[in-house]
Amino acid sequence: MAEHGAIESPCRKLCALHPERKICTGCFRSLAEIGTWARMTPADRRRVMAELPARARASDLADQGGVAPRPADSPRDI
C-alpha cells in the first residue's frame, strides 16, 4: 500500500513491451518510467499519470490487450 499522499504505480500486472513503441502494453509507460518510478518525485509521477490516458487513446495498443488507465478524477464503474 502506498504511503499517505503517495502516487501508486499504474502497473496493471499485464506487462508486455511493444517491440516498436517500447512502451508497456498494460500501463503505457516507457521502460525508463517503469525503471525510475520508485525514485520519481510526486510531481513527475503526476505528470506521467496525466499522460497515460492520452497515450492509450493515441495508440492501437488498447485494441491489442492493453488496458487504458482511468483518469484519477473519473468515476469508477459500479
- 57 falls within a domain: yes
Distance from C-alpha of 6 to C-alpha of 23, rounded to nearest angstrom: 23
- 17 falls within a domain: no
- 76 falls within a domain: no
- 54 falls within a domain: yes
Q: What backbone torsions phi and psi does residue 8 show, to the nearest 5 degrees?
A: -75, 160
Distance from C-alpha of 14 to C-alpha of 65, rounded to nearest angstrom: 9
Tens digits of residue pLDDT in 15-74: 999 888 889 989 999 999 999 999 999 999 999 999 999 988 877 655 555 554 555 544
Domains of the chain: total: 1
- 26 falls within a domain: no
The pTM (predicted TM-score) of the whole model is 0.68
